[in-house]
Copies of this chain bind each other. A is one copy, B any other.
Amino acid sequence: MKIKILGCYAATPRTITNPTSQVLEIKNHMFLIDCGEGTQVQLRKHKIKFSRIEHIFISHLHGDHFFGLIGLISTFMLLGREKDLHIYGPKGIKEAILLLLKLGNAYTSYGLYFHELKATASEVVFEDDKVKVSTIPLQHRVYTNGFLFEEKVTERPLNINAILNYDIDKVYYNKIKQGGAITLENGQQIPNDLLTFEPSAPKSYAFCSDTMYSEKIVPLLTNTTVLYHESTFLENEIDLAEKTMHSTAKQAAKIAKLAAVKHLLLGHYSTRYGDIELFKKEAQEIFDNVLLADDGLEFEF
């Protein structure tokens, strides 16, 4: 599981900082999460193939998370994309994108599917045999969702040498992958753990931006491998955090601790702070395993 940070700064794009956008590579999917202005250029800069992006998740309709989407959709069109594209985001996103396309007299060369969200409880928005994506309802100035990406429990990898040793027929391989034991023709029982290896534990990534401090999300985040939680401010600006419905680094750490996540990844920094190490320092007073997102960084778990 890899997380590439295309942008992780709050409010307005600048020459050296980009608004929110990330690419999550998980089980051969490349999920794009949020799409601030300039995201298409960031994707090019980091040599991420446009064709690998088939699902885009938009947390909310503030510009720094969303204004790059129409440009990306248009560029896909100009490049003659044929592959379907799925957009998951708040109700209203479809009307906005379609109006902008209509004004440009433009029609996509590919299937463009909108999955509009309006539920206030967590819901599954994407699922296949390897990954499940569900919403994390957040508290912000407009309707906002985080997203939880979970690998499914994988099949047990076959121990091919052992299987050949017991001369087991291929028709049983699927049963073995699912954890089943085998009875040989001579009646001997072979337990599954002699025929397979332990699969790696399924990983999960929770993206939570933007949100005020809210413990309501903790049950959804429990034992998550990586929690990206916004930390727009430091604790000395907690009044501003409350007023704008954002979080401090310390509050992000509190959520990480309550949910017993493995790693906390901070981001969505206000550009008023010169040194983002301050966010890490503050969070580590509460929770040890803190990482700092920054534009262009990639994290592998």
Binding site for B on A (CB under 8 A): 11-15, 37-38, 40-41, 44-45, 61-63, 66-68, 70-71, 74-75, 78-79, 90, 92-93, 95-96, 99-100, 103-106, 141-142
Alpha-carbon distance between A170 and B171 when the two chains are bound, in angstroms: 107
Alpha-carbon distance between A62 and B77 when the two chains are bound, in angstroms: 12
* A104 & B70 in contact (Cβ 8 Å cutoff): no
B contact residues around A44 at 8 Å (CB): 14-15
B contact residues around A106 at 8 Å (CB): 62
* A104 & B61 in contact (Cβ 8 Å cutoff): yes
* A41 & B15 in contact (Cβ 8 Å cutoff): yes
* B71 & A70 in contact (Cβ 8 Å cutoff): no
* B13 & A71 in contact (Cβ 8 Å cutoff): yes
B contact residues around A40 at 8 Å (CB): 12-13, 37
* B96 & A100 in contact (Cβ 8 Å cutoff): yes
Expressed in whole angstroms, the minimum distance between the Cβ of A293 and any Cβ of chain B is: 20
B contact residues around A11 at 8 Å (CB): 78
A79 closest partner in B (C-beta): B12
* A71 & B78 in contact (Cβ 8 Å cutoff): no
Alpha-carbon distance between A13 and B104 when the two chains are bound, in angstroms: 17
Alpha-carbon distance between A87 and B103 when the two chains are bound, in angstroms: 16
Question: Which of B63, B74, B103 is the one whose CB lies under 8 Å from A104?
Answer: B63
A45 closest partner in B (C-beta): B15
Q: Given A61-B104, A99-B96, A142-B104, verify A75-B38 contact (CB < 8 Å).
A: no
Alpha-carbon distance between A142 and B103 when the two chains are bound, in angstroms: 8
Question: Which of B37, B75, B92, B105 is the one whose CB lies under 8 Å from A142?
Answer: B105
A102 closest partner in B (C-beta): B92
Alpha-carbon distance between A93 and B45 when the two chains are bound, in angstroms: 30
A60 closest partner in B (C-beta): B104
Q: A12-B71, A63-B74, A103-B142 are in contact. List 12 more A-B contacts (CB 8 A).
A: A11-B78, A12-B74, A12-B75, A12-B78, A13-B75, A15-B45, A63-B104, A67-B67, A67-B70, A90-B103, A96-B103, A105-B141
Alpha-carbon distance between A14 and B95 when the two chains are bound, in angstroms: 27
Expressed in whole angstroms, the minimum distance between the Cβ of A109 and any Cβ of chain B is: 14
